[in-house]
Structure 1
Amino acid sequence: MKRLPYLFLGFLLVSVLPIQGLAIPVQLADTTVALIDKPVPVGRRTPRQQDIADLAGRWFPRLPITPHDSSSLRDGKRFVLIIPQIGYTLQTRGLAAVLVNSPFRMANANMSSVTGQLSYTQNHQIILTATSSIWSQNNRFLWTNDWRLMHYPQATYGLGMYTSTDRVINMDYAYFRFYQSLLRRLAPNLYGGLGYHLDLHWNIDSYNSRREVTRISRYENGVEGRSVSSGPIVQVVYDNRKNAINPAGGLYLNVVFRANMSVLGSDNTYQSALLEARKYVHLPGNSKNILAFWSYNALTLSGDPPFLDLPSTGWDNTGNVGRGFIQGRFRGKNLLYAETEYRFHLTADGLLGGVVFANAQTVTEQTSGKFEKVVPAIGPGLRIKMNKVSRTNLSIDYGFGFDGSKGLFFNLGEVF
């Protein structure tokens, strides 16, 4: 146990080294300066903002660590955060991963981010992901993608809110996700466009402690063999946040309609919708502390999705719905979720911060089709500033679910 602090410090040191070989020159707007400290007026002693690169530079002055500042960005340098991780999560047990993140800003545009991660877990899960949210110059276009390739043995607990962690069904499968969309600005902060979503599962094998199963909670679509959901999407986004990595205010609205079609390879024809909202306010009003709200609602409008494509805990695009519960804990045709989080500074220089959060979720029951039970979760969290220019934090949270679930959760960037 005594070695863990040194291992963690080593990971932080690696994360702040700039990778020039991966750099792609971009033009940066003057608004980048707003993300770092402004000159301190005479008579005030406001500490200059710090991040892990500043800390490592003081502790290890001989290492080739380049500070994160606006001048280095204007020179065309791209900072790539490389963060090796070891840890433990409810769905993976032991975890070893390498996460690569590159935040940048086009001219007169919101902050963009490209992230990739490769993970291997104690449950023999292999996870490769690549996600991005790229704003073009002047915020004219928004390009997003979510690609995943996974071998993912995982426990499931059935459908509805009355399931128990004592009755586990194990599922072993391979998964390929290809989500892509291109949105165009329709009005200030309002975007609309089209995309394509593909969820492909194969080698699906479901079994309990005694035998293989062909249905779960009386649902047999996509429980074994292979399942495909494929269809176009129509998406509308309103976003007046300046930095989605760590919003300091603003409103985000996201509406997605998806039409899965057999003509495009989908097993079944069904329609689904996603309704999402995020709001950020300063509390107190003259402070940098943020009170954030998140509503995430995934609905099946018609038809029967494959089992693994039903809305479920922890299976949103960021994997953050339901902090405090194991991934896949609750699953149903419709999911409603709400969360609030209070974010505050622990140090005046912004290096360390903290959060407290609370959330609640519910899914419809398979027999009645109604929402009958709501389960909440609460928890605290720590924030470590990895890059003061993009305001990228390493998020470490511990959640307690009110069904007895609990666990540690990591993110690069804020949870929402």
Structure 2
Amino acid sequence: MKFCTQLLVGLLIFVGTPRCLAQMPLADTLASKNTRPVSQPAYHLQDVADLVKRWYPRLHITPHDSSTLQEGKRFVLVIPQVGYTLQTRALVAVLVNTPFRMPGANMSSMSGQLSYTQNNQIILTTNSMIWSRDNRFLWTSDWRLMHYPQATYGLGMYTSTDTRVVDMDYSYFRFYQSFLKRLAVNFYGGIGYYLDLHWNIDSYNNVREFTRISRYSAGVQGRSVSSGPAIHLLYDNRQNAINPTGGLYINAVFRANMSVLGSDDTYQSLLLEARKYLHLSPTTDNVLALWSYNAFTLDGDPPFLDLPSTGWDNTGNVGRGFIQGRFRGKNFLYGEAEYRFHITNDRLLGGVVFANAQTVTELGSGKFEKVLPALGGGLRIKMNKISRTNLSVDYGFGMDGSHGLFFNLGEVF
């Protein structure tokens, strides 16, 4: 989930000994076998565990060193946090992340987070991307249970944060699950089941209760359900989804929400997503990352809270520079470019600069009429040099005056 003005207050708590995340030397994890390799550094790589060990030698901290990795063991990162976000105000949270690798497989990752906020929001999320041995199968999940009061700004690109803001108070359960089988080299296909359940929905401002927002009435009061099977196609030749150094990722999900499965309305949606990672020079491991995220309503009327929206992708990262839920519509287009570079030779610190743009269709015309860009930069702190997990802290500026800090464990995309 995306965070603004997030302050890390805990160091890493290591549970067990790091598992052998790869069946290959550490240097091989720095470049994908599907991309042109770059010159490997001759110096010693460092991460936060190395710093803690150096500063507090009496602490029992297991360093992340490939020579100490043993088959059959794993590690867990537990990070307590306090902070402030545009959509939550002050918060306390605990984040748990477990990267690992099956024999002959891509890097897998499971993560979870429990948060409580000043807005009385309770957020429990779990995400996983698990590759089986030799990449024969892929299991993906996105589960969420939330009590989530949040402001909404209406539909389309001509909305404002100053006027006509509607507060929505609701509880939310998300269950997205897909199981994919390898059909060809790096290409997977499978099926899934997707459920979005909102209940106790109250939409109001200081004057009255709303039964329509931007002339849209579906799912703005009471309860809403979107439920249906999905067809999932994926091409992915990245070796490490936590921090890719090369490769191509293409994801397509067709979802058929059906009233027979409990959905309020029968409607179909399509998600098309692509990510590309490029080395601009053979002498550096700096990366230019490109991201396209596009969500379409093919037919029918989704509930208001299930319409494509800023910051409501699976990772909560679409639209850095804008508050979550800032733009919403039946169809959503988004593109982003980010240049990732190292600051210190030991890769402990890195940096990024990024720019993005987004647009949604207007309810009346059904057309894309306005595009709003954002840009910014950030720091990367190496939390684990074996899995290449970074702590990401970015500051983004939206062109409508929006701005703020955004926090992630791992890369934004």
TM-score, normalisation: structure 1: 0.93
Quote how far apart the aligned CAs of 1:70 are.
2.2
Quote how far apart the aligned CAs of 1:32 are.
5.7
Structure 1 runs (4+) deviating above 6 angstroms are 23-27
- Aligned with residue 101 of structure 2, among 97, 102, 105: 105
- The change in CA–CA distance for 1:59 and 1:270 in structure 2 (over 3 A counts) is same
Q: Give the whole-Å Cα distance in 1 for the aligned partners of 2:25 and 2:367.
A: 48
Matched with 2:217 is 220
**Residue 183 (structure 2) pairs with residue 160 (structure 1):** no
**Residue 124 (structure 2) pairs with residue 128 (structure 1):** yes
Matched with 2:111 is 115
- Aligned with residue 287 of structure 2, among 262, 268, 290: 290
Q: Give the whole-Å Cα distance in 2 for the aligned partners of 1:358 and 1:24.
A: 36
Matched with 2:168 is 171
Contact 2:308 2:328 in 1 (8 A): yes
- Aligned with residue 340 of structure 2, among 339, 343, 358: 343
Q: How do residues 3-402 of structure 1 correspond to structure 2 at under 5 angstroms? A: 8=8, 11-12=10-11, 15=12, 17-20=13-16, 28-30=22-24, 34-35=28-29, 46-167=42-163, 168-402=165-399
Aligned length: 398
Q: Give the whole-Å Cα distance in 2 for the aligned partners of 1:81 and 1:296.
A: 29
Q: Give the whole-Å Cα distance in 2 for the aligned partners of 1:143 and 1:45.
A: 34
Deviations 1:337-375 (A, max 9, x none): 000000000100000000000000000000000000000
The residue matched to 2:67 in structure 1 has which SS? helix
Quote how far apart the aligned CAs of 1:208 are.
1.5
- The change in CA–CA distance for 1:144 and 1:19 in structure 2 (over 3 A counts) is same
Opposite residue 169 of structure 1, the aligned amino acid is V
Quote how far apart the aligned CAs of 1:87 are.
1.4
Task: Structure 2 unaligned segments of length 5 or more: list them.
Answer: 1-6, 32-39
Contact 2:279 2:287 in 1 (8 A): yes
Task: Structure 1 unaligned segments of length 5 or more: list them.
Answer: 1-6, 38-43
Quote how far apart the aligned CAs of 1:31 are.
5.8
Opposite residue 165 of structure 1, the aligned amino acid is T
Quote how far apart the aligned CAs of 1:241 are.
0.4
Opposite residue 216 of structure 2, the aligned amino acid is Y
Structure with a larger share of its residues in helix: 1
Q: Give the whole-Å Cα distance in 1 for the aligned partners of 2:244 and 2:339.
A: 13
- The change in CA–CA distance for 1:190 and 1:284 in structure 2 (over 3 A counts) is same
- The change in CA–CA distance for 1:321 and 1:397 in structure 2 (over 3 A counts) is same
Quote how far apart the aligned CAs of 1:283 are.
2.2
Deviations 1:139-187 (A, max 9, x none): 0000010000000000000000000001210000000000000000000
Contact 1:28 1:74 in 2 (8 A): no
Contact 1:51 1:351 in 2 (8 A): yes
- The change in CA–CA distance for 1:31 and 1:301 in structure 2 (over 3 A counts) is farther
Matched with 1:40 is none
- The change in CA–CA distance for 1:132 and 1:31 in structure 2 (over 3 A counts) is farther
Matched with 1:3 is none
Contact 2:235 2:251 in 1 (8 A): yes
Deviations 1:283-305 (A, max 9, x none): 22321100000000000000000
- The change in CA–CA distance for 1:159 and 1:345 in structure 2 (over 3 A counts) is same
Contact 2:18 2:69 in 1 (8 A): no
TM-score, normalisation: structure 2: 0.93
Contact 1:18 1:78 in 2 (8 A): no
Percent identity for Structure 1 against Structure 2: 74
The higher relative CO (CA closer than 8 Å, separation ≥ 6) is in 2
